[in-house]
Structure 1
Amino acid sequence: MSNRPAISEEAIVLRGPLVTGFTDEEFFQFCQDNRDLRVERTADHEIIFMLPAGFLSSSASAEVVRQLSNWNVANRLGRVGESSAAYVLPDKATLSPDASWFSQANWARVPTELRNKFLPICPEFVVEVKSPSDRISTLQAKMEQWLSNGAQLGFLLDVETETAWVYRAGQPAEELHGYDQELDAAPVLPGFRLDLQPLREE
């Protein structure tokens, strides 16, 4: 599988030695200096500026984080991140899922001095929520990139069409329709089931 990252046709991409030569620290500072922008970085260190999410997709992402956080508080098995958390992956891309979870063991691998920066780990579980500017094919490629970098489980959600894809390491993606159901995250997150009903737009 190619390590070329998923880039939306609608995204603005910066290329060239000035930006591709950024160290991880310089890229982190670049993001701090541009806090109002949604920024990711490809495996080739190209910088991607993504369009802002619409309200409905943003609200859906917040609901996912809420459910995931409630489960994590009860179980205390790891850490939860929302869309401002970013991960420096083994293929050198820096990506920010809409929601993420990683184990305490994974957290222990992060040096103390990097814990308030972009984490040099891949979360075990990620969720991507389609925004109006996203293409499903782009997000599907991104989900495969998460898995190829070590994620064990991922949910891709298209709230507008009430479609969900479940990605498990080593298995084909499962496509599900209708948000009158729950997505089972076991065994990666034992006991966590994402209730899709609150994501529906009545």
Structure 2
Amino acid sequence: MLSEYTIGGKWVESMTDEEFYTFCVENENIKFEREPDGQIVIMSPTGFNTGRRNAKIIVQLSNWNSTHSLGEVVDSDTGFYLPNGAMRNPDAGWVSNERLASISKAELEKFPHLVPDFIIELVSKSDYPKNLDAKMKEWINNGCRLGWLIDPFNETVTIYSPGREPEVIKGFDKSVSGGAVLPGFELDLKELKV
């Protein structure tokens, strides 16, 4: 089962950011991402268990954010234009108040030209690990300060941060810390067990 399908062509690859946003709005029942070269990626919906795990992640992150009020949490339907020209939507993301202050309210109504401080990508049965590793590195190379690739099937969390090799944490019998990026945040991995 494929988790995504890529379409290209001269017209598709030459769309401006505004045209791509309009294309997404006019096809609102389909989830898209865009590659740096302009090709459009059609994303498949996730299965129930992946959606359930993602909801648990969003709840934990939102509860921490409600207590600390240091930024805003977004879900997997939120698109971000990256400096390399791609448009991506993380499974979960957090943007600091400092980064949000640099973006107009009008732009926040669309896909902002903004890189979240923190993102999570959650592995589903139909994902390809090589593609997810490349996507995580793309987030970091474009300005994300911390990224977690969570694999519930192998019970691993791979932590990505600028200037460091990815670090793998094994076992879902513990929590993973947001460190200096998300002070005081601990994701309880036990809630994500298969």
- Cα offsets for 1:116-138 (capped at 9, x unmatched): 11011100100000112111111
1:1-202 to 2 correspondences below 5 Å: 11-201=4-194
C-alpha separation between the residues in 2 aligned to 1:42 and 1:156? Answer: 19
2:37 match: secondary structure: coil
- The one-letter amino acid of 2:51's match is S
Deviation track 1:47-85 (CA, whole Å, cap 9, x = no partner) reads 001222111111111111111111011100001110011
Give the counterpart letter for 2:96 in structure 1.
S
Looking at structure 2, the residues matched to 131 and 34 of structure 1 have their Cα atoms a distance apart, in angstroms, of: 24
Q: What's the CA shift for 1:160? A: 1.7
Q: Give the TM-score, by structure 2 length.
A: 0.96
Distance 1:15 1:107 in 2: 32
List per-residue Cα deviations over 1:2-54 (Å, max 9, x = no partner).
xxxxxxx7521111111112111111111112222221001111100122211
CA contact (8 A) 1:51 1:133 kept: no
The CA distance in 2 between the partners of 1:170 and 1:105, in whole Å, is 22
- For 1:120, give the aligned amino acid: H
Structure 1 CA distance for aligned equivalents of residues 165 and 143 of structure 2 = 16
For structure 2, the 5+ residue unaligned runs are none
Equivalent pair of 1:100/1:125 in contact (CA under 8 Å): yes
* Percent pairwise identity: 38
* Distance of 2:97 and 2:190 partners within structure 1: 29
Cα distance, 1:112 vs structure 2? 2.1
Q: What is the aligned residue count?
A: 193
Letter in 1 for 2:126: S
Letter in 2 for 1:86: G
Q: Which runs of structure 1 show a deviation greater than 6 angstroms over 4 or more consecutive aligned residues? A: none
Name the structure 2 match of 1:6. none
Moved more, 183-192 or 53-62: 53-62
